[in-house]
Structure 1
Amino acid sequence: MVDKRNLEEKINKVLEKIKIIDIHTHLFPPSFKDLFLYGIDYLLTYHYLIAETVRYLPISPDDFYNLSLKEQAELVWKTLFVDRSPISESARGIVTILTEVGVDFEKKDLSLIRAYFDKIDMESYVDLIFEKAKIDYVVMTNDPLDENEMKYWKCNIFKDKRFRPSLRLDRLINDWENIREYLKVKDYKEIKDHLDKWFLMIEPLYIALSFPPDFRYPDDMLRSRLLEEIMLYAEERKVPIALMIGAKRSVNPSLRLAGDSVGKSNIESIENLCRSFPNNKFMVTMLSRENQHELCVTARKFKNLMIFGCWWFLNTPSLIEEITKMRLELLGFSFIPQHSDARVLEQLIYKWKHSKEIIKKVLYDKYLALIRSGWTLKEEDIERDITQLFRKNFEDFIFSKQ
């Protein structure tokens, strides 16, 4: 039996043992060569850290991006780790990564840190990072309209079960006129042949779409008609659609990827989709904190809606704690608590280590309240519940044909 004295130990035991499914990343396997990002220079030039660095310095974003990758990394290191304490979540993440892989950074000498990454064996290194982060497999973000990425798929070299595909169709649905010419189709109803080709090549677990805060469904825009075509196709293929809503793109274009922001979105559109397409399954994450409560309540009303993760600007300790508490209180264990959104391999370590620390704390408080209410809790109950959160909810939602 579990009680207050051993509750934390039992939760820790399960969290240390469980192999996580990371349901949304921007990672690629080593066989994708230039798309496979790893090492200290890519970690330091993560767009979160670029935006933070430029705030401190008398340098324009254009001047920053005119520097080489190594020069950018050196400037970020000096600004955030030498001249200041790395207190932000993304900066602390670098410290966590270096600590976990055993790099001595006491001297704050970037050349010594680089020397560690220069010596790694790539195939065993991927396994090492997955083991450190306790990852079973990650789901990639695969864009069939990215010619650089597609050259790897066309070579039929992808055989890495640590990396599973998803089909990202943002450009198809948000830039139709240009994509229509690229695909050489006259009408949006002709996209099925292309979807068939992409599915055969990639074999995705789900279709993914991201939308800005002003997304509405239904409306009189062509985007809604395209979305409906994709809905019908997803139903036919029996795959879920992941919707990521709320990113305001390029509010500061000079910052490039670091220049995106956040806006409050419309929940009624999610309700309309879930109600209008009851045979489709929707995984939804929203970027604005102000959307989270309403999204939880909406998930209570629709079985075909699975909410997931604390995305992007929500991936901060204070907000992960707040949102996870609310989800447990409203949805029990019927949600997916987190995804990493990692772009650089080693980010799996810090994003999951930091998130699990917070989720552990929330679970402890909720289980303790349950015990005090008179419930008898067993270790196998904790294992069952945590497995549901970090594995079973996703795989049941993906692979169930209901």
Structure 2
Amino acid sequence: MKIQNTYELRKAVDRMIDNIKITDIHTHLFTTDFNDLLLWGVDELVTYHYLIAETMRWVDISYDEYWAMSKQEQADLIWDTLFIKNSPYSEACRGVLTVLEKLGLDVSSRDLNSYREYFKQMTVDQYIDKVFEVAGVSSIVMTNDPFEDAEREVWLGDYKADKRFKTALRIDPLLNAWNTKYKCLKEWGYDVKEELDENTLKEIRRFLNDWIDRMNPLYMAASLPPDFVVPEESSRSKIVEECIVPVSLERNVPFAMMIGVKKLVNPQLQVAGDSVGKGDVGTVEYLCAKYPHNKFLVTMLARENQHELCVAARKFRNLLVFGCWWFLNNPSLIEEMTRMRFELLGPSVIPQHSDARMLDQLIYKWTHSRKIIADVLFDKYNDIIATGWTIEEEEIQRDVEKIFGKNFWDFLEREF
């Protein structure tokens, strides 16, 4: 049906984006098989590392004192500091309020204990179903790291897949800490040594293939520092070109690069202590050009990298740009980046992923992002309608399906 005016356009865009079932291509969530690794509930939500960092700007206690507290004590401190003694309009605080409101709780009560009672009445299985329904998500991609003992134990044991939870093979340790992590491979029966000779490279490829067989991952992923460069004389660069790239091509498992993390700039903050740095888009261009039959998913953490990355994606069809990651997951930056990507790349991007570390975060991150993406898409359609172009509702539906999932599955050459 043809759109007749801006009112109809707005209604159509909002309706289709509100109703679309999303594939969330990158999270840190887990199935119930992983037990306590699946984080959920109001105390976990309130003690998210963003909120820890915000709180420590206000309170007069040492970092050690904070970490010695129980989870509930930490949540009480954060709630009192950020929600009671200050207005909670940072994106992380607002996100907590959005989750509570979408779950039907009385946000105006400001009563953390009453919220706790709501979650006590839920089983984790019930809550997973509830969150997927409220967030409008059909499937999510986990982050699965065989170097983490608690995860590895599950994978080597009796893992029962939940079809909503897809897998991704996390390979940071291979790339960022080979000088120590090669010992793990050796313990696991791989004939490796620190020197990257031909046999060691062959064994790394065998390790990757073994875990691809075990996990059936949609992609291999690594969080990489700002100084990540290929090519260079380093173990990381050599493993990328001699192991990751050939296995990725052979198995049709794209390599996802998340570039720009500065680890533990404040070690006392522990999980909240990482920061951001500008990365090298030239490395992305090099890999895409040298390996044109390989597929690369890329997101970068620094705002300063976004324009250059978009331009790179115009040049390489084997590059799929995705998401507004971590410190970029703020409304003003999501809007800026989404507009730029649509203007440079049309609908051939994945505008967002949640990066959720708590199950509950699927609700607020997708609630907030849907609205921003709808606003930008409405403006873009208005721009072309102003030229005399006409828009059909079916065309809007097609575009919405692409940016919220189909682009990803088509890039992988896999079924939904």
**Does the alignment reach a TM-score above 0.5?**
yes
Q: C-alpha displacement at 1:400, in angstroms?
A: 5.9
Secondary structure in 2 matching 1:5: helix
Taking only aligned residues, the RMSD between alpha carbons, in angstroms, comes to: 1.2
Query: What residue in structure 2 maps to residue 368 of structure 1?
Result: 382
Q: Distance in 1 between matches of 2:414 and 2:345?
A: 20
Query: What residue in structure 2 maps to residue 91 of structure 1?
Result: 93
Q: After the TM superposition, which residues 243-254 of structure 1 pair with which residues of structure 2 at under 5 Å, given as runs?
A: 243-254=257-268
Query: What residue in structure 2 maps to residue 69 of structure 1?
Result: 71
Secondary structure in 2 matching 1:136: strand
The answer on 1:301 being equivalent to 2:303 is no
Query: What residue in structure 1 maps to residue 80 of structure 2?
Result: 78
Query: What residue in structure 2 maps to residue 265 of structure 1?
Result: 279
Query: What residue in structure 2 maps to residue 148 of structure 1?
Result: 150
Q: Choose the corresponding residue for 2:228, options 198, 203, 215.
A: 215
Amino acid at match of 2:113: S
The answer on 1:117 being equivalent to 2:119 is yes
Q: C-alpha displacement at 1:83, in angstroms?
A: 1.1
Q: Distance in 2 between matches of 1:192 and 1:336?
A: 29
Deviates more, 1:148-157 or 1:279-288: 148-157
Query: What residue in structure 1 maps to residue 254 of structure 2?
Result: 240
Q: C-alpha displacement at 1:65, in angstroms?
A: 1.0
Q: C-alpha displacement at 1:210, in angstroms?
A: 1.5
Q: Distance in 2 between matches of 1:148 and 1:159?
A: 17
Amino acid at match of 1:230: I
- The answer as to whether partners of 1:28 and 1:35 remain within 8 angstroms in 2 is yes
Deviates more, 1:174-183 or 1:294-303: 174-183
Q: Choose the corresponding residue for 1:180, options 179, 182, 207.
A: 182
- The answer as to whether partners of 1:263 and 1:288 remain within 8 angstroms in 2 is yes
- The answer as to whether partners of 1:218 and 1:224 remain within 8 angstroms in 2 is yes
Amino acid at match of 1:212: P
Amino acid at match of 1:284: V
Give the TM-score taking structure 2 as reference length.
0.95
Secondary structure in 1 matching 2:109: coil
- The answer as to whether partners of 1:105 and 1:113 remain within 8 angstroms in 2 is no
Q: Choose the corresponding residue for 2:215, options 202, 210, 235.
A: 202
Q: Distance in 2 between matches of 1:301 and 1:195?
A: 29
The answer on 1:226 being equivalent to 2:228 is no
Q: C-alpha displacement at 1:221, in angstroms?
A: 0.9
Q: Distance in 1 between matches of 2:266 and 2:237?
A: 27
Q: After the TM superposition, which residues 297-376 of structure 1 pair with which residues of structure 2 at under 5 Å, given as runs?
A: 297-376=311-390
Q: Distance in 1 between matches of 2:228 and 2:326?
A: 18
Q: C-alpha displacement at 1:203, in angstroms?
A: 1.0
Q: Which runs of 5+ in 2 are unaligned?
A: 187-191, 194-199
Secondary structure in 1 matching 2:7: coil
Secondary structure in 1 matching 2:222: strand
Aligned length: 401
Query: What residue in structure 1 maps to residue 189 of structure 2?
Result: none
Query: What residue in structure 1 maps to residue 108 of structure 2?
Result: 106
Q: Distance in 2 between matches of 1:265 and 1:241?
A: 17
- The answer as to whether partners of 2:174 and 2:236 remain within 8 angstroms in 1 is no
- The answer as to whether partners of 2:209 and 2:247 remain within 8 angstroms in 1 is no
Identical-residue share of aligned pairs (%): 52
Q: Distance in 1 between matches of 2:414 and 2:357?
A: 29
Deviates more, 1:79-88 or 1:186-195: 186-195
- The answer as to whether partners of 1:139 and 1:163 remain within 8 angstroms in 2 is yes
Q: Distance in 2 between matches of 1:225 and 1:8?
A: 50
Amino acid at match of 1:4: T
For each residue in 1:309-366, what CA deviation from the matched residue of structure 2 results, as whole angstroms up to 9, or x when unmatched? Answer: 0000100000001010000110000000000000000100000000111111101111
- The answer as to whether partners of 1:80 and 1:91 remain within 8 angstroms in 2 is yes
Query: What residue in structure 1 maps to residue 196 of structure 2?
Result: none
Q: Choose the corresponding residue for 1:162, options 145, 164, 169.
A: 164
Q: Choose the corresponding residue for 2:293, options 251, 273, 279.
A: 279
The answer on 1:22 being equivalent to 2:24 is yes
- The answer as to whether partners of 1:167 and 1:202 remain within 8 angstroms in 2 is yes
Q: Distance in 1 between matches of 2:124 and 2:411?
A: 33
Q: Distance in 1 between matches of 2:7 and 2:357?
A: 39
Query: What residue in structure 2 maps to residue 288 of structure 1?
Result: 302
Give the TM-score taking structure 1 as reference length.
0.98
